[in-house]
Amino acid sequence: MSENPVWRESMEIYFAEGHGFAVYFYLLIILAPVEFLSLYIPSLDAQMWSGSASLFKVTAVTTLVLVVYFSLRVANQEFAPWRFKSLKTWLRDEGLPAAMIRRAQLGFLCVHIGLSLLLCGPLLVTFLLLPGYALIYGVWGLATLALWERRLENRQVFIRCLFTALVILSALFYLPLNPIAFLLATLSRQELAPLALFGIQWSGTFSHLSFHILLGAAGYSVYRWALRRAPGF
């Protein structure tokens, strides 16, 4: 991977030049007060907010939202976008194959997710669902980047609308599909309502995991297709 120029560019811009440090600063500066307030500010039901279990739930949900949201933004190259070479440059001028670009961008996305969870480690024990959600939603950020590379405003609006729509619509139509509701139910060991589809009762856990696997596969397929249709291919 170190021989991959796209990988080296991302590492240099985010870490050598320091443009990526803002992402992790935002993570900590938002998550730390949430944990502090959930410990010391009483709510209408004091028992709900007392103890480590409720603290873990509040922090887990906040971490889920933040990690997924910033993974979308990093994949979409919203931090220092002027420093990145365009896909047109890599594909046509540099002559790189689309597979090499894809491996570098996906690899860097995974590194970002890992660092985000590592930074959240002192505040939250790493939960297995979080990197999965971040990768599934983050790949849509890569797809958006490949589709509308020259239209930064369009990309920013799209990923925010996508994230908001998926969270809200899943909560409205079938709650177990919602990642926040699923995380809370898993931590509380609550049974999820089944989904009746095609005359079959599908368990809530199976429905949730299947939906997100399909969502991630669709995002990856769009990303691969968008790279292949870029100039030079």
Q: Global pTM?
A: 0.80
Give the SS3 label for residue 83.
Answer: helix
Please give the Cα distance from 90 to 230 (Å, whole number): 10
- Pair 117, 52: CB distance under 8 Å: no
Please give the Cα distance from 119 to 161 (Å, whole number): 27
Within 87-176, strands assigned E span none
Q: Is the pLDDT of residue 66 over 80?
A: yes
Please give the Cα distance from 113 to 116 (Å, whole number): 5
Segment 184-193 long-range contacts (CB within 8 Å, at least 24 positions apart) = 184/57, 184/61, 186/129, 187/53, 187/56, 187/57, 187/60, 188/57
φ, ψ dihedrals at 232, nearest 5°: 105, -10
Question: Is 50 within a domain?
Answer: yes
Q: Is the pLDDT of residue 46 over 70?
A: no
Q: Using only C-alpha atoms, what is the Rg of the chain?
A: 19
Of 52-56, 84-88, 121-125, 205-209, the range with the lowest mean pLDDT is 121-125
The domain total for the chain is 1
pLDDT at position 59 is: 77
Please give the Cα distance from 183 to 45 (Å, whole number): 21
Measure the CA dihedral 109/60/163/190, to 10°. 120
Question: Is 233 within a domain?
Answer: no
pLDDT in tens, 147-164: 888 888 888 888 889 888
pLDDT in tens, 108-151: 999 999 888 888 765 554 466 788 889 999 999 999 998 888 88
Question: Residue 155: which domain range?
Answer: 5-228
Question: Is 62 within a domain?
Answer: yes
Helix-helix angle 52-75:179-188, to 10 degrees: 150
Q: pLDDT band at 232, cuts 50/70/90?
A: very low
pLDDT in tens, 187-196: 777 888 887 7
Residue closest to 178 by CA, chosen among 199, 207, 217: 207
